[in-house]
């Protein structure tokens, strides 16, 4: 059952990410509101299971995922 908080709280959109190795091969896919931790994750416009163990199409890449600066600043304070 939904609470009032769930209805009124802002929701983060679900984003798609792909884990790409040094050769450009897609090794994993993930959908999450936050960027995954670790290197090699890039944000993609969509995800497709047929990309696994194949080169990631250049047309689907959005941005390189970097750790959240706000989180790093908070931890440093």
Ranges 26-30, 31-35, 61-65: which has the least confidence: 61-65
* Domain assignment of residue 5, yes or no: no
Running DSSP on this structure, what letter comes out for residue 4?
H
* Domain assignment of residue 29, yes or no: yes
Residue 59, both tokens? 């047309």
Domain count, the chain: 1
Range of 38's domain? 13-76
* Domain assignment of residue 7, yes or no: no
Is residue 42 scored above 70 in pLDDT?
A: yes
Arithmetic mean of pLDDT over the chain: 78
Residue with tokens 């994993």: 28
- The answer to pTM > 0.75 is no
Strands (E), 1-77: 15-20, 26-32, 41-44, 61-64
* Domain assignment of residue 56, yes or no: yes
* Domain assignment of residue 36, yes or no: yes
Kindly report, residue by residue over 43-58, the tens digit of the pLDDT. 998 889 999 999 988 7
């Amino acid at each position: 059952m939904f609470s009032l908080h769930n209805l009124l709280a802002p929701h983060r959109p679900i984003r798609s990410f792909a884990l790409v190795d040094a050769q450009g091969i897609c090794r994993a896919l993930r959908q999450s509101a936050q960027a995954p931790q670790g290197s090699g994750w890039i944000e993609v416009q969509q995800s497709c299971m047929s990309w696994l163990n194949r080169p990631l199409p250049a047309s689907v890449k959005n941005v390189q995922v970097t750790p959240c600066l706000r989180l790093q600043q908070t931890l440093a304070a």
